[in-house]
Structure 1
Amino acid sequence: MHSSGTLHSVLCLGRTYCDLVFTGLAGLPVLGRELFAKDVAVVPGGGAFITAAHLIGLGRDTSLVTRLGTDPLSAGLEGALAESGVDLTFVERAADAGPQLTVAIVQPQDRAFLSRRAGHGHPATVEAALSSPGVRHLHIAEYATLIEIPGIVASAKAKGLTVSLDPSWDDALIHDPGFLENCRGVDLFLPNTEEASVIARATNHEQILDLLIRHFPIVVLKKGSEGATLATGEGERLSRSAPHVPVVDTTGAGDAFNAGFIHGWLAGKGFSASLAAAIEAGSLSVQAAGGATVLRKIAAE
């Protein structure tokens, strides 16, 4: 693991995918017809890895806690994973963990995904990762992972770690009536507006935040090109807009945003500075294909 002085390290927990990212499309595919893309990127994906890669780009030691297949598609990711600088000590390699892939079809302001999960999402390395020296924070990249590893939040808290969660959209789980109860103990909740609206069963942003902060000490609502709004259980509200930038691919922008906020928050920079760092990280991410692409390294202040 890289040394970063007094910076505490982060664990990013979740599934890792082989992302096939198609860009430069004239439209969306139609059944019975063939559509050609101008470009394609084959890159490691999944919220855990993308957030970890951006945290490394920000200068913070970060370990990926995941399962990776031994099939050709999964094996093909090994080089890019190593080159990212993310610590791979807690990557479990198992035959049943692949092939696990996502096809991303990218449009100018949005994208669609087709994914396949493989095997279970509970790495055998979790306990060792939580006990790793210097670890301060656990980021759970999707609600599905939290469900697949019952007690993970309590285990992390027992080790003295803070915990963040990006719910990530999952048609089978986003409507779970026990969603908020299952998230008990999470310190930082990082949904986008669509996810938050379904979870809170409301459409007005203020109403959504009013409900969510009853369950989480800090909620950061990601609003895409409109920026983000932060709310705390102590009544603080803060909004920031996002800059206008050329958009190549929005895949993983929310995960890059997570990295920016987590990095600033753990460094004690305060909510305003952390929110600004999150928006900057997300804005950089959309300017290149592939969610884990880091356009430039932002030195920690």
Structure 2
Amino acid sequence: MMTDTDKRSAVLSIGRIYCDLIFTGLEELPVLGRELFADDMRIAAGGGAFISAAHLANAGRKAALVARLGTDALSSDAGRQIQASGVDLRFVEHSADAGPQVTVAAVIDEERAFLTRRAGAAMPSTLGEALNWPEAKHLHIAEYATLHEIPALVRLAKDRGLSVSLDPSWDAALIYDKGLLQACTGVDLFLPNLEEAEAITGSASPEKAMLMLSAIFPHVALKAGAQGAWSMSDGVVLHAEAEAVPVVDTTGAGDAFNAGFIHAWLDGKPHLACLTAGIQSGSLAVQSAGGFDMSLGEP
């Protein structure tokens, strides 16, 4: 007999929305006292929650963004791009204090430097409505900073029968927090990159880091850029190679990987297939500036 849970299929993706200013075609990364000139710049809607949701929608999975969006000019421009992405925006709260949220990215191949400004609180007034949405099957938390601001978030999602994934996302003020893993109790799928996993576990070895994380999380997927990705579930470690594709900008590639992996994982596919789906999604993201090529969302 099919239950209400079986009928659910949508992903809620929660996190901050940013306007990304992405500078490419640099010969070196910025240093103090020197002015650099980029060959190109793109203004793109950003933030892990949006990028993951957009790639999920592109894969055919209904995805709703749970976030706050400012009313300033930069936020409005990001909002117009988000509307064209295919993401469900019913749970986006519009508020003047939520913007502008901006990330400036300087990109050279796979090397990047970021400068980011956050604005307002992370928790949207729509959170309760989103968690009670009858179509919701899964909650993806795009950065640990969001969970840090909303400590009960995982418990609230689990109380409503949702599975939960979390990308810690690099935040120098939080990534070394001794209470990070305990705060993530209840997360089903943990999605760090190699640098984040090392900061959290103290191990630079993907296998060792995943072994330590698997004591906390039932499923772990670790992203390592050109080295591919690893996953661990039920004590089994798997690795998949990265795809050889032209790289324009790696901003958001990890969030795109998350979307591909989650989409396959929610369909009950084996972890190797989930890794492959994640890598394919991440490979798509790196071939254009910004985490999501907006032409993919066009009809």
Structure 1 match to 2:28:
27
Structure 2 match to 1:256:
256
1:245, 1:76 → 2: CA distance? Answer: 30
Q: How far 1:202 moved relative to its partner?
A: 1.6
Query: How big is each residue's C-alpha offset from its partner over 1:31-57, in whole Å with a ceiling of 9 and x where there is no partner?
Result: 232211111111110000000010011
Q: How far 1:95 moved relative to its partner?
A: 1.0
Contact 2:264–2:273 (Cα < 8 Å) also in 1: yes
The amino acid across from 1:89 in the alignment is R
Structure 2 match to 1:181:
182
Structure 1 match to 2:278:
278
1:61, 1:110 → 2: CA distance? Answer: 32
2:245, 2:280 → 1: CA distance? Answer: 11
Q: How far 1:295 moved relative to its partner?
A: 7.1
1:119, 1:279 → 2: CA distance? Answer: 33
Distance change >3 Å, CA 130–CA 153, structure 1 → 2:
same
Structure 2 match to 1:199:
200
Backbone CA RMSD of aligned residues = 1.3
Structure 1 match to 2:18:
17
Answering whether residue 118 of structure 2 is matched by residue 117 of structure 1, we say yes
Contact 2:69–2:79 (Cα < 8 Å) also in 1: no
Q: How far 1:7 moved relative to its partner?
A: 7.0
* Identical amino acids, percent of aligned pairs: 58
Q: How far 1:294 moved relative to its partner?
A: 6.1
2:175, 2:23 → 1: CA distance? Answer: 26
2:74, 2:294 → 1: CA distance? Answer: 23
Answering whether residue 237 of structure 2 is matched by residue 237 of structure 1, we say yes
1:200, 1:64 → 2: CA distance? Answer: 30
Distance change >3 Å, CA 162–CA 111, structure 1 → 2:
same
1:199, 1:242 → 2: CA distance? Answer: 24
The amino acid across from 1:239 in the alignment is H
Query: How big is each residue's C-alpha offset from its partner over 1:149-197, in whole Å with a ceiling of 9 and x where there is no partner?
Result: 1210000001000000000000100010001100000000000000000
Structure 2 match to 1:84:
85
Contact 2:93–2:124 (Cα < 8 Å) also in 1: yes
Contact 1:57–1:294 (Cα < 8 Å) also in 2: no
**Which runs of no fewer than 5 residues in structure 2 stay unpaired?**
1-6
SS at match of 2:116: strand
Q: How far 1:79 moved relative to its partner?
A: 1.3
1:217, 1:14 → 2: CA distance? Answer: 23
Q: Where does 1:1-301 land on structure 2 (aligned, <5 Å)? A: 8-232=9-233, 234-293=234-293
Q: How far 1:81 moved relative to its partner?
A: 1.0
Distance change >3 Å, CA 61–CA 182, structure 1 → 2:
same
Structure 1 match to 2:3:
none
Contact 2:193–2:223 (Cα < 8 Å) also in 1: yes
Query: How big is each residue's C-alpha offset from its partner over 1:105-154, in whole Å with a ceiling of 9 and x where there is no partner?
Result: 01112211100000110111111001011110000000000011121000
* Deviates most, 21-30 or 176-185: 21-30
Q: How far 1:296 moved relative to its partner?
A: 5.5
Query: How big is each residue's C-alpha offset from its partner over 1:205-230, in whole Å with a ceiling of 9 and x where there is no partner?
Result: 22211110000000001111111111
**Which runs of no fewer than 5 residues in structure 1 stay unpaired?**
1-5
Contact 2:23–2:105 (Cα < 8 Å) also in 1: yes
Contact 1:7–1:60 (Cα < 8 Å) also in 2: no
1:204, 1:184 → 2: CA distance? Answer: 23
SS at match of 2:55: helix
SS at match of 2:217: coil
1:255, 1:216 → 2: CA distance? Answer: 19
Give me the TM-score of the superposition, normalised by structure 2.
0.95
1:198, 1:292 → 2: CA distance? Answer: 27
